Each structure stands twice: as structure tokens, then as C-alpha cells.
Amino acid sequence: MLVTFTTDAYADITMFGDVGLAMLKMMGHSATVPGAILAADVPAALSRLSAAIEAEKASPPVKNDDADEPAVSMANRGLPLVGLLTAAAREGCDVMWK
């Protein structure tokens, strides 16, 4: 499954389902797909996502048993979504995902 985040203020962001659902939970939303955030609620969702990412940065790294592939942190995975939410907040646009 893939989750695609869209807004009129930024290019679409597509994430693997488990990562996209985790990002939704970090923003304080249920893992319901499809869904939306009204423009007035975007700054609060951005704030919650940023705080969750910062909290995860402070926690010890997860050990990766597969030496061939490096672990990708949620901070790195969440960077495009933070950009999308920032643009949506700046332009006063709704954010949707499907």
C-alpha cells in the first residue's frame, strides 16, 4: 500500500503505507486513508509531526540486522512531508491523503 499526500501549495508526496500511517499518527490523526486536514488545522499537525520527529531523534537508534541496507530514520523519511505541511500552512491550503 502507498499513501499519497497532496496539497495545492506543494508537489505530491508518496510514501510506503507503514511510513505514511506512522506519519499520520505523529500528526495526531487516525490511520484512516483517505483523509484530510483543513487549512486551519495544518499548523497544529505540522507542530505535532515536528515534535514527534525531534523526540525520535533523541531516542537511541534502532539496530539494523541487515548490514547491506542502512536504516533510514523517520526524520529523513518525514522531511518531504514537513516541507509539504510547511507550504500548505504558509499558503493556507488543505492537505489530503489517499
Instruction: Compute and round to an integer the Cα radius of gyration of the chain.
Output: 14
pTM: 0.86
The CA-atom distances, in angstroms, between 23 and each of 28, 32, 65, 81 are 9, 12, 24, 8
Whether residue 62 is predicted with pLDDT greater than 80 in this model: the reply is no
Residue 97: name the closest of 1, 12, 25 by CA.
12
pLDDT tens per residue across span 11-61: 999 999 999 999 999 999 988 899 999 999 999 999 999 999 998 877 666
